[in-house]
Amino acid sequence: MSGTIHVIGAGLAGLAAALKLSGNGERVVLHEATAFAGGRCRSYYDNAVGMTIDNGNHLLLSGNHAALDFLQAIGTADRLVGPKEAEFTFVDLAAGNRWTLRFNRGRLPFWIFDRSRRVPDTRVRDYLALARLLLPQRGRKVGEAIACEGPLYRRLVEPLLLAALNIDPPEGAARLASAVIRETLGAGGRACRPLIAREGLSVTLVEPALARLEDCGVEIWLEHQLRAIRFGAERIEALDFGKETVVLTGDDAAVLAVPAYAAAALVPGLQAPNEFRAIVNAHFRIAPPAGMPPMLGALNGLTQWIFAFPGRVSVTISAGDSHLDAPREALARSIWNEVAAATGLPAELPNGAIPPWQIVRERRATFAATPAQDARRPGTRTRWRNLALAGDWTNTGLPATIEGAIRSGNSAAALLAARKT
């Protein structure tokens, strides 16, 4: 008998691990604490706006190869939409002007030599200075590696790193910023096309993954929270789900794909990130104006990115901890004023109100991407040979992203697949 692999946590890391393992012919059981899969990347029906929305706007890039392979495997790659070329439109909310960055497809960045494609008011040498981020950076902050000032920083580097690292960039780990730059700007426009799950995160990334897993014979147990693990000297011996205990024998193994704080509570002595940053999203039920780009970068306001969805306009504010306790109504109004100014939608509807809205504040959206927290990320392997770790907080070399979560799940699957050889 080849043994059973228990995957704990049905976020994207757990789904990716289960998919790879079942594809390798392993018997897999997936356990999820809540009533739904998807974790921090999911859709739900929201009464305030009267429609299904995502917990947060999620952006992928065409260079996110693990995420795209995952979508290919579950048959939904065509549900991601984005422009044909790598284009990003920005609006400066203070000055009122706008521009569109247009990267060329190849690795050689011809776009930086073309005033009509690059960031306004920047010079070629500003871009060359950015290359300093690509040097080895272990332990350094972004603010120690590059000058965090000037038009290139304010109009491109800051919005890019704030979105990718979910932290005020100067405080962020330069190692993670370096990985982001290498896999985006450094890889050329071909890797930088923005992609959005237009019909929603769950129908694009989560439900089809569950369906595929069921087709492959994976047992899926929702509302099945792992309470404790029984540890032997070299192997984990049992998984305690409260009402029942699963004893692990022979080649049985587990992937622990829960958030960092849940893993730290389950595995004694596990060093894991223990500081987090919030992301705030505002959703407004209103049709985006014709011609609005699928996503619009906003500078010098509360609003950072504005996304156009069918019948809805949604806003993302990364590193949004300072808005966690702000009164919801006032926050929604301030954000709506900025959206109206940026998109040309009316600041007030005829009845004086703003469109139906919802504010979603995810307090522990990602680990805080500082050098100190980055240094606390464990690898996939543990000292128990039948226990692997997965999750966006493990040491993927990337910030906490869908791409990192999926790569971590793939690594855990590869490690356990090798346990019998």
Closest separation in Å from C-beta 136 to ligand FAD: 25
Q: Which of 343, 328, 345, 347 is nearest to 281 (CA)?
A: 328
- For ligand FAD, the binding residue among 68, 400, 412, 416 (CB under 6 A) is 400
Tell how strand 194-197 and strand 80-81 pair up: antiparallel
Nearest to 267 by CA among 304, 315, 226, 296: 226
Burial class (CB in 10 A: 0-12, 13-18, 19+), 134: middle
Decide: is 392 part of the binding site for ligand FAD (CB under 6 A). Answer: yes
* Full DSSP string of 208-242: HHHHHHHHTT-EEESS----EEEE-SSSEEEEE-S
Subset of 57-116 contacting ligand FAD (CB under 6 A):
58-59
Closest to ligand FAD by CB, 112 or 406: 406
Tokens of 219: 């047992």
Residue type, 105: R
Binding mask 228-257 for ligand FAD (x = CB under 6 A): -----------------------------x
Of 8-16, 149-157, 169-177, 350-358: span binding ligand FAD (CB under 6 A): 8-16
Q: Which residues contact 113 (CB under 8 A, 6 or more apart)?
A: 124
Single out the residue of 132, 2, 12, 98 nearest to residue 407, CA to CA: 12
**Are the beta carbons of 367 and 400 closer than 8 angstroms?**
yes
The Cα–Cα gap between 341 and 2 comes to 61
The smaller minimum CB distance to ligand FAD, of residues 171 and 362, is found at 362
Residue 11 binding ligand FAD, by CB under 6 A: yes
- Residue position matching structure tokens 């993927």: 396
From the list 31-39, 80-88, 146-154, 211-219, the region that binds ligand FAD by CB under 6 A is: 31-39
User: Per CB under 6 A, does 184 bind ligand FAD?
Assistant: no
Candidate segments 54-62, 102-110, 212-220, 349-357, binder of ligand FAD by CB under 6 A: 54-62
Q: Which one, 308 or 365, has the nearer CB to ligand FAD?
A: 365
Give the number of residues in contact with ligand FAD, rule: CB under 6 A. Answer: 36
When the beta carbons of 39 and 82 are compared against ligand FAD, the nearer one is 39
Binding site for ligand FAD (CB under 6 A): 8-14, 31-34, 39-41, 55-56, 58-59, 225-226, 257-259, 262, 279, 281, 362, 365-366, 391-392, 400-403, 405
